[in-house]
A and B are shown apart, each in its own frame.
Chain A
Amino acid sequence: MAVLPEASPVKIPVARGLRALGEPLLDVSGLSKRFPTGKQALDSVCLQVHPGDLAVVLGANGSGKSTLLRCCVRLIDPTAGSVRVSGHDLAHLDGAALREARMAVAMIFQQANLVRRCSALANVVMGTLGRHSDMGSKLGLLPREEYEHAMACLGRVGLPHVAEQRADTLSGGQAQRVAIARGLSQRPRVLLADEPVASLDPEAAQDVMALLRLLAEEERLGIVCVLHQPALALRFGHRILGLRDGRVVFDRSAEDVTGDHIAQLYRADVEAA
C-alpha cells in the first residue's frame, strides 16, 4: 500500500527557532471550559508540544477532545487557562492581535472545509490571507505573490497536479491533503487536527496520518491530532494523551501505552465516584 504518494522534496520555509530549543511550541495550561449548560467539557487540561512532536489525543465521545482543539484556536472561548504559542497567549487575545496569533496555528477539520467552487490552489492561497490586509484581498482577490508558496505547499502534500482542479472535484483524501496544504501555507509552527481521517477510507486515512507524521518530523511542526481509532494513534503518534471527562488521564509516549490505558478511556462509568 502506498503510504505516501510521491511527496515532492520541496521544503517550505516555516517560521522557527525564535525560542531556545526545548521550549514547547504549544503550551496549554490549566485550560478549562464550562458550557452555559453547566457541562464541564475541559477541566484544567495541560499539554505541551515540542517541534517534531506528533501528539495524538484519544478519548470517548464527549470526553472533550474537539473542545480542546477548538478552545486552542478560539473557535470556542475557554473559561480559564492559557494557550501559549510563540510568546502569545491565544486565550487572552482579541481582534487583530488574535488574528495575528492564529496564523502560527493551523487547524485541520474532519471535513476538508474547502471553498468548493474555487480551485485547489486558490484554496491553498487562502491560507495566507491573514498576512495580507490590502484592499484587493478584502474585495475577494488572492495575493499574487503567494501563488509560488502555495504551489510549494501543494507539492509538500504530494498534490501539485490538482492545483487547477476545482475543490469539489477532489476525492476525500485529496481534499483533506489540500486542506493540510492550506494550513501549511499559513507558515504555522503548530498544527491541530480534529479527527482528520474520520470521514476517509482506510487507505486515505493512512496516507493522511503518514503525511502528518512526516510534517512533524521534517518541518519540525508541533502537531496535536484528535483521533477515534486507537490503532492509528499507536501506529503514527509519538505521544498519546488520554482524555476522559475533560481531564488528561495519561500522557505518555506511544510505546508505553498499553491496552489497559486505552480501555480505561472507553470504559463505561461503572465505578464513577
Chain B
Amino acid sequence: MQAGLALPYPSANWRQSLVRGLLSVGTLLLFGQALAITQARPQELITGVGGMADIFRRAVPPDGSVVQTSIGAAVETFDIALVGTAVAVLLSLPLAVLAARNASPSPALYQVARGVIAVTRAVPDLIWALFFVTAVGLGPFPGVLAQSVHSIGMLGRLFAETIEDMDMGPVEALTVTGASRSQIVTHAILPGILPSLIGIALYRLDENVRSSLVLGFVGAGGIGFLILTYMNLFQYRKVATLLVMTYVLVVVVERVSAAIRRRVQ
C-alpha cells in the first residue's frame, strides 16, 4: 500500500452513460405500459374492502356439514394428481433418455423427443383439461389425462437434464463390457439418477395436487368442482370449509413429500 501511487482506472465515458440512461427510460416505459394495460387502480382495492369484509362475514363460521360429503372429492383431487403423476413418470423416463444429449441413440430421435417435451410443457394443464373434458366428458379422468400430458413435458425436461449432468463413467464402463443400450439405461443410468428422479417426481406430485384443484373448476372432478358449485350458489360458509380442507390436503402432501425427499440419498 504505497501512498501517492494512483492506479489508472477506467472512467465512465459518454457512451456508457448514454446506454445507462436509455436503459432506465426503457425500463420505466415497460412497467408504465404494464400498469396501464392491466388497469391497476389501487383505489378500487380500498373501496372494495367493504365487499371483501362482507364475503368474509358470510363465510364464517365455516359450515362443517359438508366435510362428510366432500371427503370423497378431496380424495379424488389427490388421486387425480397421484395417477396423473405416476403415468407421467412412466412415460417421461424413456422420453428423457431420448432427449438427453449424452444418452440419445440418434439426433433425429433427440429432436423428436425435445419437440414432444416442448409442446406438452408449453400448453398449461388447464388447457389440456378443457380439451380432455370436451373429448371424454366431465369427471376425474380428463383431469388425470390433462395432468399426465402436461407432467410428461415438465418431468421429461428435468429428467433429461439430470441424465445430461450425471457421471458418465459407469455408462462408459458398461458400454465396453458389451452391454446393450437398453441394459445400459436400466443398469447404469437409472440407478445413477434414482435419488434425483424420486425427488423430482414427488415435487411434481406436490404441484399436481394443487393444480388438480383448479382443474375441478373446468369440470375435471375433485374438490375444485365443489368449490366452484358452492361459490356459484353463494354458500360461502361451505366454501370456507372446503378451502380449509384444501389447505390441509396441500400441506400434508407437501410435508410428506418433503420428508421422503430428505430421506432419499
Contacts and interface: CB of A to CB of B under 8 A. Distances in A.
A106 B177 contact: yes
A116 B192 contact: yes
Nearest to A128: B177
The size bracket of the interface on A is 20 to 34
A183 B174 CA distance: 10
A182 interface: yes
B66 to A, nearest CB: 46
A222 to B, nearest CB: 16
Contacts of B172: 75, 109, 113
Contacts of B188: 115, 126
Interface stretch (B24-32, B178-186, B252-260): B178-186
Nearest to A188: B177
A182 B169 CA distance: 14
Contact of A129 (B183, B190, B191, B195): B183
A182 B183 contact: no
A130 interface: yes
A139 B186 contact: yes
A224 interface: no
Contacts of A115: 170, 187-188, 191-192
B175 interface: yes
Given A113-B170, A117-B191, 18 more contacts: A111-B169, A113-B172, A113-B173, A115-B191, A116-B191, A116-B192, A118-B191, A126-B179, A126-B188, A129-B179, A129-B180, A130-B178, A131-B178, A133-B180, A138-B182, A138-B183, A182-B173, A186-B178
Interface of B: 169-170, 172-180, 182-183, 186-188, 190-192, 194-195
The 4 closest A-B pairs by CB, nearest first: A130-B178, A113-B169, A140-B186, A113-B173
29 contacts: A73-B176, A75-B175, A99-B178, A100-B178, A102-B175, A102-B176, A102-B177, A102-B178, A103-B177, A105-B176, A106-B177, A107-B173, A113-B170, A113-B172, A117-B192, A117-B194, A118-B191, A126-B174, A127-B177, A129-B179, A129-B180, A130-B180, A131-B178, A138-B182, A138-B186, A140-B186, A179-B173, A182-B173, A183-B177
